């Protein structure tokens, strides 16, 4: 086991005093960066990149890796406590995390998020250690047709067996797809769907604008209506006993966490995907696999565990194409990549053999960061819970301001803030009409990826969809997707038959 020896050496590097302190600082900073809406791991790593020139390259990347990991944990906090996705990777955590907090289970949701993050981080580090070279090969083989098949599968998990009203789910997905098509055509570069010639539409509709609008602003409106502005004070008390029983209640979610971890890692290693699609797909799969899919979106702990396991796992996964192929798997790793060039490390197929100390030091420190993030996060849970005791009259304006900042930060364009407010109102109305909103968010994230890969595949296949059948990996994924699409139909027919025979 040469790999284990290398990993052990890596741990020695990670536990050097300077590196260890950098991990602790990085995780703490990352936790807060992740929890601030609009400030995701991308910004955190970008802002702190210059600081790393003061330390050796290995320590520098360890520090940035710790921020990355901390931010993955932190994103869940504002998703659960405030109902605003703290980072793009934590959008799926809002779906069930917020309903849990509303029904007094905030502690349970936070424990689930932290634990699932830890499981995801652990599994991904193990997968990375054991299978990095063959997995890099898989990522390499994954072409446009395979990518499209995977996207289709993701959509299928949201429609098939979802338990929601299927026509309404479909409608929600279509709205997301239309919004994702706004901007410039991917292949020809022609502008399209530029409503009223407003230049702000040229950069497309940022999905965080949609997510913060629907979940943040929509949430405020919803609470205003249900409580009529009355002061809402939660009486949640956190005792050690409750804390421990919170862990035991996670027993049911173990398989969900494992699924999320594996799926997240795999999606993470594919270039161009990253942790956000990974977490959304994990949510969809968790819902599809569950015996009781109707409970999702209403506060099912598995709906928190799946995306949180997946986004941490994917963040390690996206290091793989960066280190082995020199292609970043996520926006954050793209910035890390820039840092590596100036540190004099050339990412690419030879990095693993030429720079073993660096690679394994990074992997080991990711693991150390994962463990520390869990401890720090759990220690802070009582502080987070305190947020719930703040009266709504104070909390609402704070949430509102955070939403505005979160909508402005990614593109720094006021156009997006207005758009976000509009989405907030539309989202609130759709919620009143009982439309599921998660599929729209999924569609706007995956839409551009699906469109690009579909069009590339069709150019390669001379316009014939045959290409999806001719390529074995694509065909297998495609078959799964189609089955998932058809299943609800079969279920519907068989249910009807049962009804008529019992009559």
Partner 1 sequence: MKTIRKMLLTSASLLALAFFSVASVQVAMAEFDPKKPVDFVIMAGKGGGADKMARLMQSIIEKHGLASKPFVPINKPGGSGAEALVHMNNTSGAAKDHTVMVTLNSFYTTPLRQPNLGIDISTFTPVGRMAEDTFLLWVNVDSGIMNVDDFVAAAKAAGDSWIMAGTGKGQEDQLLTDFLNRTYGLNMTYVPYKGGGRVAKELAGNNANSTVNNPSEQLGFYEAGNTRALAAFTGNRLELFPNAPTFGELGNEFIYYMQRSVVGPPGMSAEAAAYYQELFSKVFQTEEWQEYKKSKSLYGDFLTGQALMDYWMNERTIHEAMLKQIGEI
Q: Which residues bind partner 1 (CB under 8 A)?
A: 17-18, 21, 46-47, 49-51, 53-55, 139-144, 183-191, 199, 202-204, 271-272, 321, 325-328, 331, 334-335, 337-339, 341-342, 346-350, 452, 456, 459-460, 462
Q: Of 234 and 452, which CB lies nearer to partner 1 in the complex structure?
A: 452
- Name the one residue in this structure whose structure tokens are 């703040």: 390
d(CA 302, CA 286): 7
Write down the least CB distance from residue 145 to partner 1, Å.
9
Backbone angles phi, psi at 413, to 5 degrees: -140, 120
List the structure tokens of 11.
């741990």
Neighbours of 262 (CB within 10 A): 18
Choice between 286 and 467, CB closer to partner 1: 467
Phi, psi of 231 (to 5 degrees): -70, 130
Written as six digits, the tokens of 140 are 């390499």
- Cβ count near 187 (within 10 Å): 11
CB of 441 to partner 1, least distance (A): 21
Contacts of 455 (CB under 8 A, 6+ apart): 186, 187
Cβ contact 299:107 at 8 Å: no
Do 193 and 183 touch, CB atoms closer than 8 A? yes
Burial class (CB in 10 A: 0-12, 13-18, 19+), 136: middle
Which position has the token pair 């996964």?
Answer: 317
Tokens of 77: 């906090």
**Closest to partner 1 by CB, 203 or 249:** 203
What count of other Cβ atoms lies within 10 Å of the Cβ of residue 112? Answer: 32
- Distances in whole angstroms, Cα of residue 212 to Cα of each of 78, 208, 274, 409: 11, 6, 20, 12
In contact, 347 and 323? CB cutoff 8 Å: yes
- Our CB check for partner 1 shows the closer of 203 and 431 to be 203
What's the chain's length in residues?
503
Q: In a 3-state reduction of DSSP, which class is residue 292?
A: coil
> Which residues face 183 on adjacent strands?
192
Residues 6+ apart with CB under 8 A from 494: none
Distances (CA, A) of 132 to 109, 136, 352: 32, 6, 10
Least separation in angstroms between residue 72's CB and partner 1 is 20
Q: Which is nearer to partner 1, 341 or 429 (CB)?
A: 341
CA distance 176 to 184: 16
Q: Annotate 367-434 with DSSP letters as a single string.
A: HHHHHHHHHHHHHHHHHHHHGGGS-HHHHHHHHHHHHHHHHHTTT--HHHHHHHHHHHHHHHHHHHTT
Name every residue whose Cβ is closer than 8 Å to that of residue 245 and which is 6 or more positions away in sequence: none
């Amino acid at each position: 086991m040469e790999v284990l020896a290398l990993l052990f050496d890596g741990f020695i590097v990670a536990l050097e005093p300077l590196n260890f302190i950098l991990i602790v600082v990085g995780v703490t900073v990352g936790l807060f960066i992740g929890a601030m809406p609009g400030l995701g791991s991308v910004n955190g790593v970008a802002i702190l990149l210059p600081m790393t020139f003061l330390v050796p390259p290995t320590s520098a990347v360890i520090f940035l890796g710790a921020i990355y990991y901390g931010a993955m944990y932190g994103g869940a906090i504002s998703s659960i406590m405030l109902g605003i996705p703290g980072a793009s990777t934590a959008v799926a955590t809002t779906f069930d995390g917020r309903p849990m907090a509303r029904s007094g289970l905030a502690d349970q949701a936070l424990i689930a998020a932290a634990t699932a993050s830890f499981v995801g981080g652990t599994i991904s580090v193990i997968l990375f250690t054991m299978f990095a070279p063959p997995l890099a090969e898989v990522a390499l083989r994954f072409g446009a047709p395979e990518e499209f098949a995977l996207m289709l599968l993701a959509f299928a998990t949201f429609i098939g067996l979802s338990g929601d009203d299927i026509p309404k789910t479909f409608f929600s997905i279509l709205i997301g797809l239309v919004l994702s098509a706004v901007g410039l055509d991917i292949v020809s570069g022609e502008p399209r769907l530029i409503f009223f010639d407003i230049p702000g539409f040229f950069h497309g509709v940022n999905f965080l604008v949609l997510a913060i609008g629907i979940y943040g602003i929509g949430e405020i409106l919803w609470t205003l209506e249900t409580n009529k502005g009355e002061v809402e004070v939660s009486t949640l008390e956190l005792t050690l006993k409750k804390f421990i029983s919170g862990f035991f209640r996670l027993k049911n979610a173990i398989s969900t966490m494992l699924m999320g971890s594996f799926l997240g890692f795999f999606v993470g290693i594919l270039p161009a995907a990253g942790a956000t699609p990974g977490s959304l797909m994990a949510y969809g799969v968790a819902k599809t696999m569950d015996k009781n899919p109707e409970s999702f979106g209403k506060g099912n702990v598995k709906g928190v565990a799946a995306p949180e396991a997946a986004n941490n796992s994917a963040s390690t996964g996206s290091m793989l194409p960066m280190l082995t192929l020199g292609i970043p798997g996520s926006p954050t790793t793209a910035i890390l990549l820039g840092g590596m060039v100036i540190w004099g490390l050339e990412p690419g197929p030879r990095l693993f053999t030429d720079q073993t100390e660096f690679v394994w030091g990074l992997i080991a420190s990711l693991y150390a960061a994962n463990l520390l993030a869990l401890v720090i996060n759990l220690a802070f849970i009582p502080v987070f819970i305190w947020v719930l005791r703040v009266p709504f009259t104070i909390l609402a304006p704070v949430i509102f301001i955070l939403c505005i900042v979160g909508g402005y930060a990614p593109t720094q364009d006021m156009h997006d803030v207005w758009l976000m407010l509009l989405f907030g109102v539309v989202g609130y109305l759709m919620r009143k009409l009982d439309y599921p909103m998660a599929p729209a968010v999924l569609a706007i994230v995956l839409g551009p990826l699906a469109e690009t890969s579909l069009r590339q595949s069709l150019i390669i296949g001379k316009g014939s969809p045959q290409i999806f059948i001719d390529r074995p990996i694509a065909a297998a994924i495609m078959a799964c997707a189609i089955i998932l699409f058809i299943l609800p139909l079969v279920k519907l027919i068989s249910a009807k038959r049962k009804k008529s025979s019992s009559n």
